[in-house]
Every structure is written in C-alpha cells, then in structure tokens.
Amino acid sequence: MSSEEHLKQTDTEARFEFKKEEASAFKTEKGLTEETVRVISDDKDEPEWMLQRRLRALKHFQNMPMPTDWPEIPDLSEVDVAEIVPYIRPDIDVRGGVDDWTDLPEDIKDTFDKLGIPEAEKNALSGVGAQYESEIVYQNMQEQWEEKGVIFCDMDKAVRDHEEIVKEYFMTKCVPPSDNKFAALHGAIWSGGSFVYVPEDTTVEMPIQAYFRMNSEGMGQFEHTLIIAEKGSEVHYIEGCSAPKYSAFNLHSGGVEVFVKENAHVQYSTVQNWSKSTYNLNTKRAIVEKNGRMEWISGSMGSKATMLYPASILKGRGASDNHITIAFAGEGQNIDTGAKVYHNAPETKSTIESKSISKDGGRTNYRGLVHIADGAYDSSTAVECDALMFDNESISDTMPYMEINESRVDVAHEATVGKIGDEDIFYLQSRGLDDDDAKQMIVSGFIEPLTEELPIEYAVELNRLVELEMEGSLG
C-alpha cells in the first residue's frame, strides 16, 4: 500500500485526535521543584554533571520573569508550570527504545501505526525515532548508516554512551538555559529527544525522522534534539508532532541545537500538528561555520499558541541560511512564528520566506529579526512574508526587525497581505470546481514553496492537514 493510499484510507480526524489510556511506569507529581528535577535525573540514572546543569537551569527559570513586554504577544497567562506533569515514563521494558515495532505495547504500537510512522520508515527514511510521552520508545536506523559511523539515538542514551560529546555541546554554546524562560524550563526537565551525529564527509541520503506524541492530559513534553554535522557532511532531519485535545492545557517546550560545521549542510523540517490545547514554546537554534548551510523548514498547523523563531547564527565566512515557514491559524489559534538570523561573518547569506494563513478568528504573526554585525561585509538577506486572510474575524500581523551595522550589504524585506482573490475563485468555478475545492486549490498553491522542500510523503501529509483545517469551514 502506498502511503498516499494509506492516508486516504485513514480518517484524518481519527489519525490525530484519538486518545489512549494513560499507562505509565513512572510519573512525577504535578509542578516543578528541585525535588522534581532530582527525581527525573535519578529515574534516568544520569551522571552528576547533568543533574547540576538541570539544577542551574531551574534557578534561571525561577529567576526569569514571564515574557510580557513584546508587542502583541500571545496570551500565556494560562501557562502555569505548577499545573503540568513534567515527566511520564511510558510502561515499556527497554529504555532508549526498541528497534522492532512489534516489541511495543499494543496501544503504543497502534498509536504510531495510525500516525503512519512504520509505513513511512519502510518507504522514505534512513532512520526513525518515536517518542511517547517523555521517552523515546522506538529507535532504529538502517545498518548502512551505522557502519559509516552515523549516530542516531535517543538523547538519554547519548548522555550515557557519548558522554564527552554531549557534555561539550549540550546547552552550552548554542542555546544556554539563560536564553529565555522556556529554554531554562527545558534545561531543567528535558527528557527524550534525538541525538544525531554525522561524521566528516558523510551524506545521509534519506531523511531521518523523529515523531513526538503526547498522549496524556495536562502533561508537558520537553524533548531535546542535538544535531552535530561534521565537516562536509549532509543530513535531513524531520520532526513531526501531535497530541489529542484535552480541556486542560498541554505544554511543549522543546530545545533544538544544531551544529553545522565547515561545508556541512543540515535541513531541519518540522510539521507541527499539536492539538489546540497545546502551548508550543520552543527554542531552536543552529550555529553555522564556514560555508556551511542551514535550512529550517517549518509548518505550524496545530497548537493553541505557538511562539517559535528558529535561529541561525552565521558564524563562518560564506555560511548561509534558508528559512521557509508556513503558519496556519484556525479558530482559537495564535501562531506567532518567524525567524532569527545573525550575520556574524563576511559573505554570509540568508533568505527567509514566510507564508501565513489565518481564518475563523485565528491569528498569525511573522516576528523576525535579522542582525548584520559590523564586519559582516558582502552579506545579503532577503525576507519575504505573504499572508492570506479568509475572513474578518482573523488577524494577520507582520513584525520584522532589521539591525544593520555594516554598510557593504544588501538587505531587503517585503511583505504583502491580501484576501483570497475573488477573481481566482470565480475562474476556478467557471472550470467546474466548487467553492471549497477552489479555495483549497488556491491555498495549496500558496504553500507550495514549503511542500516542494519536503519528501513527497510529507508533502502529501501536509496537504492533507491543510485540507482537514479547511474542511467545511469556508464561507
């Protein structure tokens, strides 16, 4: 069965909105104290230095105020860390994930089957990691990559097996816990996530994927992703996420650190489909060395509120960055997303392409910062934001910030906002399409720059998500 057929056969609602009984082997109390942090660290049997880092991060979290002074900031007043369960270890025998889907408990296996992960693994991926609640439950990579020295494992295992590397890179150089309140929270209670290490001059031809599923009500997921791409290497990492909807809020606060060494190329793609009761407050950042290339491809479809600004620090001469972001906000959603690029070396280049769609009272905002440091001569940046609005209850904002400290540069920002064109719809209808199909086709065309960057399975998936968002809701 092709994955497209598979998608057709599976009812989309049922694919994301189903719930499973909570079955945990270990679960912390609600809230966050030093004790919670110690308990998590102890349950993971971590080395002392990691516990110390967690405790330091906790101090930062406790001392930092909630961000409130940003213009038009999404409402985070509901986000009370005392109300969430930060850590749930699912009931599985093998820590660090099994490498055969059939070894998983039936309900967890069923979850990922419904999400289509094993199917995708067979067809299009070099490796898969799957996280359920706070821990990775499945982890596998094709042997040919293992033989070449590529490491793809869950983050907890990396702390044990690759301690020296993790100790050097984990929340030290890229995203320190002091960066922002939710990075600090993440540093204190992170659990799960992926560790990817690609040796020099190795190209991982097919993407590797991690899928994050939150099942329980009122929990928080705090996975940490660390990617190190050595000189001349190349890798494409895909991240997917979803959760069923509950009346209580869920919190997702992931941390992503990417190290792109000389001449390396990393593509990081995210299709985020959190439930509309989830707050998605992430910190993602890459440090790019000489002639390295970083690509951030993000589709933000889900969540109640998202605040996500993937950042690239272009540190080496000739480093480049490419952002493609799509935000789709429906009823009750506030998707505040964008990009951040620091040009800290000469001849660096960035392009940011943002597309946003708001409908049924949803709000999208592009919030982005481009900084060109003094001495980063011959750098260029181009930012393009396009927004599409469906109706008059929706809001579309654009807030770019540009800080230019160097004269030999080329900086351009452009943005447009418009409604869906009546003429375009009329034309399509005259060709026999009904109103809904016409609008859907226009939206699919609008987000094409994103879908064409993804492997076909994901492009199809994304289009299905957009269809799902638009079904029956068009006036």
Considering only residues 410, 435, 452, 471, which one is a binding residue for other proteins as defined by CB under 8 A?
410
402 forms part of the interface with other proteins (CB under 8 A): yes
Considering only residues 25, 66, 94, 412, which one is a binding residue for other proteins as defined by CB under 8 A?
412
415 forms part of the interface with other proteins (CB under 8 A): yes
Binding to other proteins (CB under 8 A): which residues in 26-45?
A: none
Q: Which is nearer to other proteins, 262 or 353 (CB)?
A: 353
Considering only residues 13, 42, 72, 437, which one is a binding residue for other proteins as defined by CB under 8 A?
72
Q: Which is nearer to other proteins, 55 or 417 (CB)?
A: 417
Distance in Å, CB of 404 to other proteins, minimum: 5
Considering only residues 161, 419, 445, 452, which one is a binding residue for other proteins as defined by CB under 8 A?
419
Distance in Å, CB of 71 to other proteins, minimum: 8
Distance in Å, CB of 22 to other proteins, minimum: 39
411 forms part of the interface with other proteins (CB under 8 A): yes
Distance CA 475, CA 364 (A): 20
337 forms part of the interface with other proteins (CB under 8 A): no
Distance in Å, CB of 383 to other proteins, minimum: 9
Interface characters, 175-204, with other proteins (x: CB under 8 A):
------------------------------
Distance in Å, CB of 103 to other proteins, minimum: 45
Distance in Å, CB of 338 to other proteins, minimum: 12
Q: Which is nearer to other proteins, 201 or 410 (CB)?
A: 410
Interface characters, 378-397, with other proteins (x: CB under 8 A):
---------x-xxxx-xxxx
Distance CA 382, CA 411 (A): 6
406 forms part of the interface with other proteins (CB under 8 A): yes
398 forms part of the interface with other proteins (CB under 8 A): yes
SS3 readout for the chain:
CCHHHHHHHCCHHHHHHCCCCCCEEEECCCCCCHHHHHHHHHHCCCCHHHHHHHHHHHHHHHHCCCCCCCCCCCCCCCCCHHHCECCEEECCCCCCCECCHHHCCHHHHHHHHHHCHHHHHHHHCCEEEEEECCEEEEEEECHHHHHCCCEEEEHHHHHHHCHHHHHHHCCCCCCCHHHCHHHHHHHHHCCCCEEEEECCCCECCCCEEEEEECCCCCEEECCEEEEEECCCCEEEEEEEEECCCCCCCEEECCEEEEEECCCCEEEEEEEEECCCCEEEECEEEEEECCCCEEEEEEEECCCCEEEECCEEEECCCCCEEEEEEEEEECCCCEEEEEEEEEECCCCCEEEEEEEEEECCCCEEEEEEEEEECCCCCCEEEEEEEEEEECCCCCEEEEEEEEEECCCCEEEEEEEEEEECCHHHHHHHHHCCCCHHHHHHHHHHHHCHHHHCCCCHHHHHHHHHHHHHHHCCCCC
5 forms part of the interface with other proteins (CB under 8 A): no
Size, binding site for other proteins by CB under 8 A: 38
Considering only residues 172, 405, 429, 473, which one is a binding residue for other proteins as defined by CB under 8 A?
405
291 forms part of the interface with other proteins (CB under 8 A): no
Q: Which is nearer to other proteins, 65 or 71 (CB)?
A: 71
Binding to other proteins (CB under 8 A): which residues in 354-373?
A: 369, 371
> Which range of residues in 87-95, 274-282, 398-406, 424-432 is near other proteins by CB under 8 A?
398-406
Q: Which is nearer to other proteins, 98 or 256 (CB)?
A: 256
Distance in Å, CB of 157 to other proteins, minimum: 34
Distance in Å, CB of 403 to other proteins, minimum: 5
Whether the Cβ atoms of residue 103 and residue 96 lie closer than 8 Å to each other: no
423 forms part of the interface with other proteins (CB under 8 A): no
H/E segment holding residue 300: strand 293-300
Distance CA 38, CA 473 (A): 47
Considering only residues 90, 232, 346, 400, which one is a binding residue for other proteins as defined by CB under 8 A?
400
SS3 readout for 131-159:
EECCEEEEEEECHHHHHCCCEEEEHHHHH
* Positions in the binding site for other proteins (CB under 8 A): 69, 71-72, 369, 371, 374, 377, 387, 389-392, 394-419
